Structure 1
Amino acid sequence: MEIYNPLVDEKYKDYFYTTVRGKSYQLIPIHLRSEYVGKMNVKVTGITLYDYFGVFSLSKQLNEQTALFVLPGTYDIDLLGNSRESIISEYSLSTDHTKGIDANDIIAIKEYVLGDNLKQIHWKLSSKLDELLVKEMSEVITSSQFILLETAVSDVHPNEIDAMIEAFYSISKAMIKSDQTHYFGWFDRKYNLFRRKEIHSLDQLNDHLQDLLSISFKVDHQSSIATFLQNTYDIRVSQLIYITSSEPNRESLDESIHMITIRCTSHHIEKSLRNTEDTIHITPYTLEEDLRKLPI
């Protein structure tokens, strides 16, 4: 049996032994394990039958295939923070600050005063902070958040890929939990195209999980950051969350886009050099702790 995980470029062979009575039908359970997330392509290449004494044998070549998915772990990230100020600031977007009536376009959160539109009360925040808060609305949606996964990387260890995928999935899931519609994407080497998805719900996120777990990380194709710039001309991105294992290139990025880089490395980095305002370093060994430091 051959098992291949293209996500981390892991390939190995395994052999299974069992006994079967003559003229009988038997289901044989096979237990497969993987240290890493991804799509496990399983191929049965052959079978050999032996007589009771192991003297005679009969072999037959096979080409039976199937696929299994090892799903990423997820980590709880509180994107709203714990303080009243950080909670409210998350709802301020980069717009023209003109009040409007579209309930999708929040430019600020303020305390309720007599005369405010009762329909604009933010019940979720009001309940959390135990005071009435209302939403100030803009006229038009003008910006979006985008999670970008870099697939053109070199000398990347499988556990780094593992951590990048889990960070990608955890951040998207946290945005859904906090009612933040967002985009995510990556460059797909197999089909030579940039995949971009708008995510509103957990069902949508999980629908694209198989595509995410089937990609390959190679340096012999276009970078996700380069193709991102070519394929997002029709949307305005206010914040880019860029997940990579290498030094980011910000030169071609529009100045209006605030980029936060999540850089994954498998080796230890001195604390004094780790994090800046726009860069968070994560490791496979401290991933949960590192993701809690995200400035988003």
Structure 2
Amino acid sequence: MKRLGFLLCTALGISLFVLKRPVGVTVLGFCVLCFLLSACENMLSRKKLFALVSCEKSGLKNVDIPLKLTLTGSTGDYSGRLRLKNMLTGQTITKKLSFTISGGKPAVVDITLNSETCGKISADIMSLKAFDLTGLVWKRVKCEVKGSVNIMPDAAEIDESEEAMLKEALESDIYSEENEGTDHSEPIGIREYRQGDSYKSVHWKLSFRLGDIYVREYGEPVTDSLCIYIETGGSTPPEDYDRLAAKALSLSMALSEDGTGHYMAFYSFSQQRKIFEHIDSSDSFAVALDSLLSSQPEQGKEHKAEFSELFEKSGISRVIEIK
């Protein structure tokens, strides 16, 4: 609109000048002065912009997800392209972007995202142009973008071999001889009853024989000896990364629902380091999930051998490999 208004005003000034109307020189001179001042101000100013991508909650595959892009910074009219990148599969979506920041108020742009695969969606703004007041002169500016959204994987089926390893992990035979636990299959001692003890742990035969109430003490696992390893290198094609993430997270959730701590390991190309997360709570699961969905796998050599020392130090005796 600003560009159209300025052009119409300039056209009017030219028309009046051609018709030799005195006011034509004034109008035309005013337009030229505005153009020069506006262009100089735009070219010399240091425009700073910041953007935040936000979403009320994690998204689901093949479902429209409403995102908000909040932009703050220097006053002006801007246009460019917003690129949304899936950090797990490498897929990108580009959307046109046009917004105005005025009066110190941020510009808010609503965006709809629909992804066929899971992954962490990051954003950056490309080819961003800042226009002067006439809308005719522009210069390129940079905008720092923060924020992301996770697209959750679907639940994956667990095959027989993986189910057998899960069962073995749930029946771990490594127990503490000092710390009390709740596994009734692993008694480590007998003591007198204390208020709050469960009646399920009472040793009735011994209690009747000794004339007082005695209870069994039970052990708890010393270490979580199972690790879910996801191969993010090797020859796995990008379209399979969605399947890998779904299988790994489904296995982890199956263990977590039974209260079994475990590890998740993979190489993150986005962070250029080995990820080795101990999962024993919803918080640690969320950390592992976020790291996996943004791991940015690459085809190349496999990385499992690099984890052997970590597995040994952490007492890992069983590894379920997802590849």
TM-score w.r.t. length of structure 2: 0.52
**Structure ranking higher in strand proportion:** 2
Amino acid at match of 2:229: L
User: Identity of aligned pairs, percent?
Assistant: 17
Q: Does 1:6 align with 2:83?
A: no
Q: Deviations over 1:116-163 (max 9, x none)?
A: 9965948xxxxxxxxxxx9995587265111111111325132x2112
Residue 229 (structure 1) aligns with: 308
Aligned residues: 214
Task: Name the CA distance, whole Å, in 1 between partners of 2:193 and 2:226.
Answer: 29
Q: Give the distance between the partners of 1:143 and 1:70, measured in 2 at CA.
A: 28
Equivalent position of 1:71 in the other structure: 151
Q: What SS is found at the alignment partner of 2:116?
A: coil
In structure 1, what residue type is equivalent to 2:314? Answer: I
Alignment correspondent of 2:241: 161
Partner residue in 1 for 2:118: 37
Name 1:239's counterpart in structure 2. 318
Deviation at 1:184, TM superposition (A): 1.0
Task: Give the CA RMSD over aligned residues.
Answer: 4.4
Structure 1 residue 198: deviation in Å? 1.1
CA distance in 2, matches of 1:242, 1:102: 31
By how many angstroms is 1:10 displaced? 1.6
Secondary structure, in 3 states, of the residue corresponding to 1:44? strand
Q: Distance in 1 between matches of 2:266 and 2:155?
A: 21
The answer to whether the Cα contact below 8 Å between 2:182 and 2:218 also exists between their aligned partners in 1 is yes
Q: Which residue of the partner structure matches residue 141 of structure 2?
A: 62
CA deviation string 1:206-247 (max 9, x = no partner) = 1333222221211335x3321221322212223211111xxx
Give the distance between the partners of 2:290 and 2:167, measured in 1 at CA: 35
Q: Is the 8 A contact 2:262 2:279 kept in 1?
A: yes
Unpaired stretches in structure 1, ≥5 consecutive residues: 80-86, 123-133, 245-296
1:39–1:69 Cα contact (<8 Å) kept: yes
In structure 2, the partner of 1:267 is none
Q: Partners in 2 of 1:120 and 1:92 — Cα distance?
A: 24
Distance in 2 between the 1:116 and 1:178 partners?
28
**200, 207, 216: which one aligns with 2:296:** 216
Measured after TM superposition, the shift of residue 38 of structure 1 is 2.1
Distance 1:66 1:77, change over 3 A: same
Cα distance 1:225–1:107, how it changes in 2: closer, same or farther (>3 A)? farther
Corresponding residue for 1:277?
Answer: none
Superimposed CA distance per residue, residues 16-48 of structure 1 (whole angstroms, 9 cap, x where no aligned partner):
467x79999653322233222223231222147
Give unpaired runs (5+ residues) of structure 2. 1-81, 160-165, 202-214
Aligned match of 1:130: none
2:250 to 170, 173, 178: 170
AA aligned to 1:93 is: S
Q: Separation in 1 of the partners of 2:303 and 2:182?
A: 29
How far is the alpha carbon of 1:186 from its aligned partner? 0.8
Letter of the structure 2 residue corresponding to residue 144 of structure 1? S
Distance of 1:107 and 1:225 partners within structure 2: 36
1:108 equivalent among 165, 175, 185: 185
AA aligned to 2:313 is: D
What is the aligned partner in structure 2 of residue 199 from structure 1? 279
Kindly indicate whether the alpha-carbon contact (under 8 Å) linking 1:186 and 1:195 is maintained by their aligned counterparts in 2: yes
Q: Give the whole-Å Cα distance in 1 for the aligned partners of 2:227 and 2:216.
A: 23
Bigger Cα Rg: 2
Offset at residue 188 of structure 1 (A): 2.4
Q: Alpha-carbon deviation of 1:68? A: 1.7
What is the rounded CA distance, in whole Å, between the counterparts of 1:21 and 1:191 in structure 2? 34
Provide the residue aligned with 1:285 in structure 2.
Answer: none
d(CA) in 2 for partners of 1:194, 1:108: 36
Given the two structures, how large is their TM-score scaled by the length of structure 1? Answer: 0.56
Change (3 A) 1:94 1:24: closer
CA contact (8 A) 1:47 1:59 kept: yes
SS at match of 2:185: strand
Summarize the Cα distance change of 1:102–1:51 in structure 2 as closer, same or farther, 3 Å threshold. Answer: closer
Counterpart Cα distance in 1 of 2:284 and 2:83: 32
Kept in 2, the 8 Å contact 1:36–1:70? The answer is: no
